[in-house]
Every structure is written in C-alpha cells, then in structure tokens.
Amino acid sequence: MMICTVGLAGMLYLIKKSLGKTVEEPGKSVPAESGHLSPKPAWGRYHVHYYGFALLFLAFDMEMAYMYPWAVVYKELGIMALLDMGVFLMILFLGLIYTWNQGGLKRQ
C-alpha cells in the first residue's frame, strides 16, 4: 500500500519534471510574506503557548494505552472492569481538575 502511494507520487513528480525546469530568479526562493522579503530564517526557539496542555496530554495519552485492551475485555469482566478503570480514570480526572483549578487550562 505504502509502496503504491509512494510509487504513484513518484510518477506524479516525474510527469512534473517532464514539464520543464524551474527558472531561477532572485527572490523567488524567499518564503512569501505578502509582498515582503521575509527578513531571516524563522527557525528558532519557538514559544508554544500551550505547554500546560501538552503536559496534561502526555499523562492522558499514556492512559489510552491501557484503555484499548481494557475495552476489548470489558464486557467479559463486567462490573470489576468498570470499577478498576473507574478508580484509575478518577485519579487522572482529579489531575485534570487540579490543573484546571491551578489555571493550567488557559493560554500560557
């Protein structure tokens, strides 16, 4: 499947190539900035203003790894499964509420 996709894309690129080379011109390779020559490379220490959410996300995403197998056997195990996962999720949920309470759920 992946090979097919990449192959297809490769074909597209080849067709494109057959249509001619890019004419090199001054300014053409500068990223477009609505009529300005963008002043410098943009790479740097970028300030993501959502790092609080990101930390929370890590905790919850880990938990999802347990959720899938749990979900498959849930009906089999019955009420015990619900209680087990309930306690686990409650602890995580308390974490979420704590973060909310501490003002973590807003733009930093």
Partner 1 sequence: MSQTVYWIVTILLFIAGVYLLAVMERWAIYGRFEFTYPVKSWLALFGQESVTPRKMDKVFYETAPLLFITAALLAAMVLPFGKGSPAIDLATGALFINAALAYIMVAVLMAGWAPNGVYALVGGWRFLGQLIAYSMPIVMAITATVMRAESMALPTIVDSQQGLWNIVYQPVGFLLFYLSSMAMAFLPPFDLPVAPGTLAGGVWAEFTSVRLLVFRIGRLTLIMTLSLATTVLFLGGWHGPWLPDFVWTFLKTLAVAASCFGVSRFAVRIRYDSLLAWSWKYATPAALFNILWVGILLLL
Partner 2 sequence: MNYGARKGSWDFFKRLTARAMASDLSIFPVPGADVLRACGMHFMQKGMSIVATPREANVLLVAAPVTEKLAEKAAIAYAQMPRPRVLVFAGLDELPHLPKPDVKVAIEAENLQEEIKKWLTQYAWSEEAIPFAPEKLKKALEDQQEGQGHMHHDHGGGHDHQPHEEQGSEEKHQEHQHEHGSGGHDMGGGFMSMVAMTKDMPRSMDGLAMEMNPAHFGPFFPGLPGGLSISVMLDGDTVMQAEIEKGLLCRHLSHDFPAVPKEFIEHISKINPLAPVAFRLLAEKAVRNILQTANSHYKNVSDLVLLEKERVLCHLNWLAVFSHTIGNLWMQQKAVSLHRQYQHGQANGKAIVKFAEQISKMPHLKKRLMPVGAIPENLLHHVSGPVARAAGLQKDARMQDKTYQELAFSPVQEQQNNAWGRLLVRLAEIRQSLQLIEKSKKMVDTKEKSPAITDKVSGKGMAQIETSAGMASLMIHLDEGTVKHFHLQTPAVSHAALIPQVAAMQELGDALIGIASLDIAPWEIDL
Q: Is 72 in the site for partner 1 (CB under 8 A)?
A: yes
Of 90, 101, 99, 98, give the one whose Cα is nearest residue 51: 99
Residues 6+ apart with CB under 8 A from 52: 99, 104, 105, 106, 108
CA–CA separation, 68 and 37 (whole Å): 50
Of 61, 50, 63, give the one whose Cα is nearest residue 107: 50
**Residue 36 interaction partner, one of partner 1, partner 2, none, beta carbon < 5-8 Å per kind:** partner 2
Q: Is 57 in the site for partner 1 (CB under 8 A)?
A: yes
- Residues 49-78 within binding reach of partner 2 (CB under 8 A): 49
Q: Which residues bind partner 1 (CB under 8 A)?
A: 1-2, 5-6, 9, 12-13, 15-16, 19-20, 22-23, 28-34, 38, 41-43, 46, 48-50, 53-54, 56-57, 60-61, 64, 67-68, 71-76, 78-79, 81-82, 86, 89, 93, 96, 99-100, 105-107
